[in-house]
Amino acid sequence: MPEIPDLEGYRAYFNKRLPGLAVESAESIVPWIVRMGRDEFESRTKGQMFQPVGRRAKYLLFPFESGDHLVVHAMLTGRFEYVQPKERRRAKTAFILHLGNGMDFRYFDDRNMGRAYLVHEDEFAEKVPRWTEMGPDVMDPQLTEDVFIERVKKLRGQIKSVLTSERCIAGIGNAYSDEILWEARVHPYRKRTDLSEEQLGEIFRSIRKVIEWSTPIVAGLMESKGLPANHYRDHLRVHRKGGEACPRCGHRISEITSGQRLTNFCRGCQE
């Protein structure tokens, strides 16, 4: 699933290319992903002018000059393309916007899990599911350490599950929760109730550190190598590095799969 560094990478990539461009025409190939009738989507997007791209949690926001927004939640397998129209379409392409500069903006999803919504700026709460139920974006400047601790302390369960609950704080997924907890030296299966406020504060600081460290790496790879069919994750220290040596203490990194979710951590330096 795209997480904040991936989505911020997309945002930087598209902000160099989309603002000021018009949609010449559109194709809605899988309307139930777009969550709008084919004819309505194609007619409503035609002629729209892109504004700077935004993000909230795991949603990418593509605003238009009219006040409409194309809101995309890519889920596990949704990906974007910015290609010449002659490029072969992927089998699971869901929609295409043909742009005024002769390029195509495409979204494809191998499992058809993602969702896109075309909504006006005053319709987010009404038409984007769970929009109002999300906690604050984890990179929101108003989410201070004290506010973070207060929100996290309301939840029970294992700390990794707490971090990835969007009702608590929004934007952290499976891969980067492993990195954050490794950075904070906290075992992912520790109960939240067993952690001190000092440890929760360290987790908060680790969130900011990991996101701020990894985002420029991902954005740079997207700019130099292009938009990925799979996420750029080689820079991560523990996630999907099971069996390798911990870069901090040298202990073998553990790998556990539970409920179709892979978790990596170091038993040597995460307590």
Q: What is the mean pLDDT of residues 229-244?
A: 95
Give the domain ranges of the chain: 4-127, 145-266
CATH fold group of domain 4-127: N-terminal domain of MutM-like DNA repair proteins (3.20.190)
Give the tokens for residue 264: 């990596």
- Tens of pLDDT, residues 240-253: 999 999 999 999 99
Name the residue type at position 256: I
- Tens of pLDDT, residues 107-130: 999 999 999 999 999 999 999 999
- Whether the pLDDT of residue 60 is over 90: the answer is yes
Dihedral angle, C-alpha 86, 88, 94, 96, nearest 10 °: -10
**Would you tell me which CATH number, out of the four given (3.40.50.1820, 3.30.70.3270, 2.60.40.3120, 1.10.8.50), belongs to the domain 145-266?**
1.10.8.50
70 CB neighbour count, 10 Å cutoff: 25
Give the tokens for residue 67: 């006040």
- Tens of pLDDT, residues 147-175: 999 999 999 999 999 999 999 999 999 99
Cα–Cα separations (whole angstroms), residue 229 to 6, 253, 257: 12, 27, 23
Instruction: Tell me which residue has tokens 């409920």.
Output: 259
